[in-house]
Structures are given as structure tokens and as C-alpha cells.
Amino acid sequence: MCFPVHSQCASIGFSSIISIVKILKFITAVISIDIGTLITRTPGLHGGCPHILGKGVTVRRIVTWYKRG
């Protein structure tokens, strides 16, 4: 399960998270992009759950924010 908050995620402010979500929405609306190039899994980071490359924010967390609006 990838829900626990990790120290890396705790250091990211909520406004930064909102900005990331807005940027991802903009990118997907304007540019056809292979989202697989933005998502990776790193053994030992977030229990191996998929996360955004170079950011450490899990895909599950972004989906949760997206569903909240």
C-alpha cells in the first residue's frame, strides 16, 4: 500500500502540489504526450509504487488530488 506520507512528500507544500496537478492537466490538454515517459518505479522509494519522474510524488496521490478537483 502506498498511502503513508513519506518525508519527501511532506516537504512539498500543498500549493506546489496544486501547481503540479494544473501543469499536468494543461500538458495533457494541449500536447499529446506519452504519460509513460513521466512515470517510473524506483525500488526502495515509496515501496516501489509508481511516481512522477524526478518529483517523487506518487501516481496514487495525484489521482486523489485530481478526483478532489
pTM of the model: 0.49
Residue 14 lies in a domain: yes
Residue 1 lies in a domain: no
Residue 49 lies in a domain: yes
Residue 33 lies in a domain: yes
Residue 2 lies in a domain: no
Residue 40 lies in a domain: yes
Give the count of alpha carbons within 13 A of 18, CB side only. Answer: 5
Q: How many domains does the chain have?
A: 1
pLDDT tens-place string over residues 20-62: 888 777 776 666 667 778 888 888 888 888 988 887 789 889 8
| Domain extent for 36 | 8-68
Q: Among all chains, which residue has been given the C-alpha cell 478532489? A: 68
Residue 46 lies in a domain: yes
Residue 23 lies in a domain: yes
Q: Rounded to an integer, what distance in angstroms lies between the CA atom of residue 18 and that of residue 40?
A: 21
